[in-house]
């Protein structure tokens, strides 16, 4: 007899190719590379800019305008309604050869995202992970003969991005970047919030 496998409570991840045009990508790289002067305690070869509001730079403003419709689409999957969305903070990451970013998630936001501004070495593509200490079985079947499925895998490596590509994900989702064996990897990261959430009359508004 036939059977079906049902995706029960899947986690959404939105990927949009070429969301930023290449002239805007080049402008972001040229303008913000020199401002990424804040060290990260994860790795000596990882630095970033301070947290910036989209209105602090015309380049960020252009990027936010192009990204926002995708936030609405992602939010509709997460909350079942086309809500208003705003990017509350953006920053640029510089990952030099040998640098990595430890597993983390983003607090005080609902959707987070990354726009890749340079080519990415295949070994340093963003990795998404199951949250540690979740509801998995305490004993696992994990050895050389297993073939991980979406239901048994601990991590998922995002597809190879090109400059200008975007990924959006729930802010609670754990992610990391493995050691970068290639040239400098530059990305634009951001956090976004909805204008409001309403739970049967209990409404909460958010401002960036």
Average the pLDDT over 82-87 and give the result.
Answer: 96
- The CA-atom distances, in angstroms, between 102 and each of 31, 41, 64, 164 are 26, 10, 26, 23
Domain that includes residue 110, residue range: 14-133+147-196
* Predicted confidence (pLDDT) at residue 7 exceeds the cutoff of 80: yes
CATH of the domain at 153: 2.60.120.620
Average the pLDDT over 8-20 and give the result.
Answer: 96
| Chain segment 69-81, per-residue pLDDT in tens | 999 999 999 999 9
Kindly state whether residue 21 falls inside one of the protein's structural domains.
Answer: yes
* Predicted confidence (pLDDT) at residue 102 exceeds the cutoff of 90: yes
- Residue 87: what pLDDT? 97
Kindly state whether residue 203 falls inside one of the protein's structural domains.
Answer: no
Kindly state whether residue 9 falls inside one of the protein's structural domains.
Answer: no
* Predicted confidence (pLDDT) at residue 134 exceeds the cutoff of 80: no
| Chain segment 25-60, per-residue pLDDT in tens | 999 999 998 898 888 888 899 999 999 999 999 999
How many domains does the structure of the chain reveal?
Answer: 1
Kindly state whether residue 178 falls inside one of the protein's structural domains.
Answer: yes
| Chain segment 144-158, per-residue pLDDT in tens | 899 989 888 889 999
**CA atoms within 13 A of residue 99's CA, in its CB half-sphere:** 21
Kindly state whether residue 47 falls inside one of the protein's structural domains.
Answer: yes
Kindly state whether residue 2 falls inside one of the protein's structural domains.
Answer: no
Average the pLDDT over 96-120 and give the result.
Answer: 96
- The two structure tokens encoding residue 174: 């754990």
Count of all residues that appear for the chain in the document:
208
* Predicted confidence (pLDDT) at residue 142 exceeds the cutoff of 90: no
Mean of per-residue pLDDT scores for the chain: 93
In the chain, what percentage of residues exceed pLDDT 90? 79
Kindly state whether residue 138 falls inside one of the protein's structural domains.
Answer: no
In the chain, what percentage of residues exceed pLDDT 70? 97
Kindly state whether residue 6 falls inside one of the protein's structural domains.
Answer: no
Taking the C-alpha atoms of residue 189 and residue 182, their distance in angstroms, rounded to an integer, is 20
Q: Which residues contact 92 (CB under 8 A, 6 or more apart)?
A: 28, 32, 33, 35, 36, 48, 49, 117, 186, 187, 188, 189
Taking the C-alpha atoms of residue 109 and residue 145, their distance in angstroms, rounded to an integer, is 39
- Residue 150: what pLDDT? 87
């Amino acid at each position: 007899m036939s059977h079906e496998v049902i995706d029960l409570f899947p986690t959404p991840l939105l990927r949009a190719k070429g969301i930023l045009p290449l002239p805007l990508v080049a402008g972001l790289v040229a303008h913000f590379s020199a401002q990424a002067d804040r060290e990260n305690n994860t790795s000596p070869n990882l630095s970033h800019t301070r947290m910036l509001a989209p209105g602090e730079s015309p380049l960020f403003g252009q990027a936010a305008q192009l990204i926002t419709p995708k936030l609405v689409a992602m939010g509709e999957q997460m909350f079942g309604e086309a809500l208003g969305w705003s990017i509350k903070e953006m920053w640029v990451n510089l990952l030099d050869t040998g640098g990595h970013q430890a597993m983390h998630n983003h607090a005080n936001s609902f959707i987070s995202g990354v726009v890749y501004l340079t080519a990415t070495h295949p070994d340093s593509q963003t990795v998404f992970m199951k949250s540690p200490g979740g509801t998995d079985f305490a004993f696992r079947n994990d050895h050389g003969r297993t073939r991980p499925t979406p239901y048994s895998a601990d991590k998922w490596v995002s597809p190879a991005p090109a400059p200008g590509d975007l990924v959006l994900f729930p802010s609670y989702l754990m992610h990391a970047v493995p050691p970068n064996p290639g040239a400098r990897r530059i990305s634009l990261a951001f956090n976004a919030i909805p204008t409001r959430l309403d739970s049967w009359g209990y409404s909460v508004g958010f401002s960036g």
